[in-house]
Amino acid sequence: MGATTWRRINAERDHRWAQPRLSAYIEGDLPDRQERRLGAHEELCPECAQLIRTLQALITALPALRLPPEASFAIAERTAEQVRARIEEWD
Ligand SMILES: [Zn+2]
């Protein structure tokens, strides 16, 4: 198995690992080690980078709507799901 193949497998594993942690990552709620791991993955993965940008924009915009925190969180989660679904369609 070449180094490139190994890196690819690693990236795919990290990608799956990253999905449920993206919201916490954006809000700075991840433990240091996980945050570093996700940051490294973000640099390598255009899909996650895009999802993170979308979520960040959303989280920046949400306070203006003056929703309760639970509602904001639910909206962010739902949007993440939709972006993820769209990303899967591109494959
Ligand atoms: Zn990724």
Q: Taking the complete model, does pTM exceed 0.95, yes or no?
A: no
Helix (H) or strand (E) holding 79: helix 69-90
What mean pLDDT do residues 29-42 have?
A: 95
Rounded to the nearest whole angstrom, what is the distance from the C-alpha of residue 18 to the centroid of ligand 1?
6
Q: How is the chain split into domains, by residue range?
A: 3-90
Closest CA to 53 of 90, 14, 80, 86: 80
Rounded to the nearest whole angstrom, what is the distance from the C-alpha of residue 41 to the centroid of ligand 1?
6
Measured CA to CA, the distance from residue 28 to residue 21 in angstroms comes to 10
Token pair, residue 12, equals 């795919």
Determine the distance from the C-alpha atom of residue 1 to the mean position of all C-alpha atoms in its chain, rounded to a whole number: 29
- Whole-number pLDDT of residue 82: 80
Pick the more confident residue, 54 or 71.
54
Rounded to the nearest whole angstrom, what is the distance from the C-alpha of residue 19 to the centroid of ligand 1?
7
DSSP codes joined into one string, 1-22: --HHHHHHHHHHHHHHHHGGGH
CB 46 within 8 A of CB 19: no
**Mean of all residue pLDDT scores within the chain:** 84
Measured CA to CA, the distance from residue 91 to residue 73 in angstroms comes to 28
